[in-house]
Amino acid sequence: MTFLDYFLPSFGQFGNLLAVLVTLTVFALLGAAACPGKRFAAVDVFAGWGIANMAFLLGGVFGHIPFTWIAAGLWGAALPSAFLIWRRRRNEDVIPGAAHVVWRILALSLPLLLLVASMKASQWDEFSQWLPNSQYIFRHDGFPGGDMPVSPSVYPAYPYGLPLITYLSSKLSGGFIENAGAMANVLLLLLLGPVYLAVVRRGLQKPEDWTRSWGAAALGVLGVTLFSTMFVQKIFLTTYADGATAVVLAAAGALAWKIIEALASKTDGERERAKSLAWQFAWAAAALLNIKQPNLALLGLVLGGMGLVALRDPKIRFLALLRLLPVMLLPGIIAYLSWRYHVKTYLAHGEFNFLPVDNWMTSEAFFILKKMLITISKKGAYLGMMTVISLTSLYALWRYKGGFARFGIIAGTVFVGYNFFLWILYITAFGSSNALTVTSLWRFNIQLGLIGCVAAAYGAAILWRLRVSPRLGKDHVLYRLLPVLGVALVLTAPVAAKNKLRFDIRPQKDHMRMVGQDLARTLPEGSRLAIIDPRGVGLTDQIINYELTSGPGAGRNLKTLYRFTVVNRPKAELLEALEKQSVTHAWAFEPLESVQKALGVTLKPSASHLLGYAGGGEWKLLRSWPYDGYDDPYSLPK
């Protein structure tokens, strides 16, 4: 693969990137139009996403309106929204979506954007639920449930906030965009940059013009990526919803802090601004609740942090915060309850659920807690950042002095509270194997990292202004050198890390997908395919099943039998299993000797093979697919 191949998407892929960007632009216009007054323009896109979510939830769940009509309504609202914003600009002097900052951020991030536009799906959860969910609403123009076809997703009841971006972008492009979720994750992360810069500017006490520079734009990009302590490429460059959760949580946290700051102000204008910020928070909360199933806990913790600040801060009347709560919560609660109604009615078994009480891991609770602490301790930069924030906020609750405390208490409450919440989930919902290994704990904490890094940036900016800047002087060389270094780092980092970022370039996974697409097109209608992969852990099953049930060749009633075991089984038992499950075909990912012996066939090396069941315990070879440049299909780099 040549160097340019990493960063040179096809014309169609580049068009797909533009489609995702247009979708987010529509969100920004909707968010800016719906939240007038002295709003925080940097969160317009997240507020608009919440509005779009509400439209699909109310229209799809209760109105049973085809999604195409809802999409047309949102696109149609973009033009009058832009006109309304233009009329208001004469009085508000607020640039929609912080566009004066965003364009520089996107320009500096062009290498990263081109790289992600060139990527394809490659991770487990993409094939098990996120892509099937996106494919489903694109193909069927509505949510699963009721009279709709059955969804092939492992978790069809997961919220559809991120898949809806894929849906809208795919409708614009005219075909399903497989990596639209990944491009949306990256763009949303970059769009958090203006929020990050606004917080830093407040800490530095710089004028508004400070953000309108290439150096500030570079800081915005680096702050939410390399400097964030938790930029994990297999989260933010995939269709996983954890990255989007982290971004919207950080935006909601920044809004919560700005509301508190406004309530603490003695001027009527700032207190009036708290109402505009409350509406923005409301729509951002609606977006947050429709991204992942447990995000209600995150929203509750942000509000809990706000409540602690209001109780401790003598400048804030707690009653003033309570008066804003109906505005801050109503849209999100309506969105949340709408989806819960749909799940309860049609998809009760399509999401992650609590286990029966008898299966709770209560006796292992403190072992699980110990395992959690050990796992998090391996993420030193992240743990250090969040520990400092949490300890500072704890001290602030004891001896409140304002300043950083307002943001620190909110971020610290989220960190401590959500990990306690995860501990309870490991005990009550994950089952013994996942609970005892605290599966995905780091991935869940990634959702908290951005609110932590924004709070940390605010504290660092205050320290820089009070401790460092006076010693450097006004014309110190660092003020000229740091912006240049920042711009250079943003431009060169994706190039230097291209092999690590393009984790989707794996010929072994390409082989699985190519075979799955061939099988989806060529297997007889109604075939039941057994996947034989003794050394695998299930990814092969997920990829093949995705191609058969959700990919371009889906809809032919093909059934995949996961992890069908033929190795070391008595022949009589094998025949009984084949008859019971009505297996018609089997695909062997590896021509292992044990597989050949069990099936009574001879298979060529360095290839995967499709077998047909001929009855009476006999198999016949139907087709083979040679490996592309490798011999061991499990020689995947990490």
Q: What is the DSSP string of 565-581?
A: --TT--HHHHHHHHHHH
pLDDT tens for residues 228-258? 999 999 999 999 999 999 999 999 999 999 9
Give residue 122's Cα distance to chain centre: 15
Tell me the pLDDT band of 536, cut-offs 50, 70 and 90: confident
92: pLDDT confidence band, cut at 50, 70 and 90? low
Cβ–Cβ under 8 Å, residues 323 and 329: no
Collect all residues with Cβ–Cβ distance below 8 Å to 375 and sequence separation of at least 6: 438, 441, 442
Question: Where are the strands (E) in 167-235, listed by range?
Answer: none
Give tens-digit pLDDT for 331-355.
999 999 999 999 999 998 888 889 9
CATH architecture under which domain 507-626 falls: 3-Layer(aba) Sandwich (3.40)
Kindly report which listed range (19-33, 102-116, 363-377, 577-591) carries the lowest average pLDDT score: 577-591
Mean pLDDT of 324-335: 96
Which stretch, 350-359, 437-446, 536-545, has highest mean pLDDT?
A: 437-446
Contact assessment for residue 197 and residue 219, using Cβ atoms and an 8 Å cutoff: yes
pLDDT category of residue 93 using cuts at 50, 70 and 90: low
State mean pLDDT over 529-553. 91
Q: How far apart are CA 441 and CA 438, in angstroms?
A: 6
- Distance (Å, whole) CA 389 – CA 406: 11
Q: In b/e form, how buried is each residue of 381-413, taking b as 16+ CB within 10 angstroms?
A: ebbebbebbbebbeebbeebeeebbbbbbbbbb
Residue 544's pLDDT is 95
The 10s digit of each residue's pLDDT in 283-310 is 999 999 999 999 999 999 999 999 999 9
pTM of the model: 0.96
Q: What is the mean pLDDT of residues 172-177?
A: 97
Amino acid, single-letter form, for residue 40: F
pLDDT at 605 > cutoff 80: yes
3-state SS class at 316: coil
Q: Over the stretch 493-525, which tens digit does the pLDDT of each residue have?
A: 999 999 999 999 999 999 999 999 999 999 999
Whether 638 has a pLDDT exceeding 70, the answer reads no
DSSP 385-430: HHHHHHHHHHHHHHS---TTHHHHHHHHHHHHHHHHHHHHHHHHTS
Is the confidence at residue 88, as pLDDT, over 80?
Answer: no
571, HSE (Cβ side, Cα atoms, 13 Å): 10
pLDDT given at position 91:
53
* CA–CA separation, 328 and 324 (whole Å): 6
H helix or E strand, kind and range, residue 135: helix 131-140
Rg of the Cα atoms in the chain: 26
Q: What is the mean pLDDT of residues 126-131?
A: 96
**Which sequence spans correspond to the domains of the chain?**
3-352+473-501, 507-626
Per DSSP, 587 falls in state E
Distance between CA atoms of 419 and 231, rounded to whole angstroms? 19
Higher pLDDT residue, 4 or 231? 231
* Whether pLDDT at 538 is above 90: no
Handedness of CA 192, 197, 202, 207 (dihedral sign): negative
**pLDDT, average across residues 405-433:** 97
pLDDT digits (tens, 9 = 90+) for 411-423: 999 999 999 999 9
pLDDT at 615: 83
- The pLDDT mean for the chain works out to 93
Nearest-angstrom CA–CA distance, 105 and 386: 26
| CA 547/CA 553 separation, integer angstroms | 7
Higher pLDDT, 491 or 87: 491
What's the confidence (pLDDT) of residue 260?
96
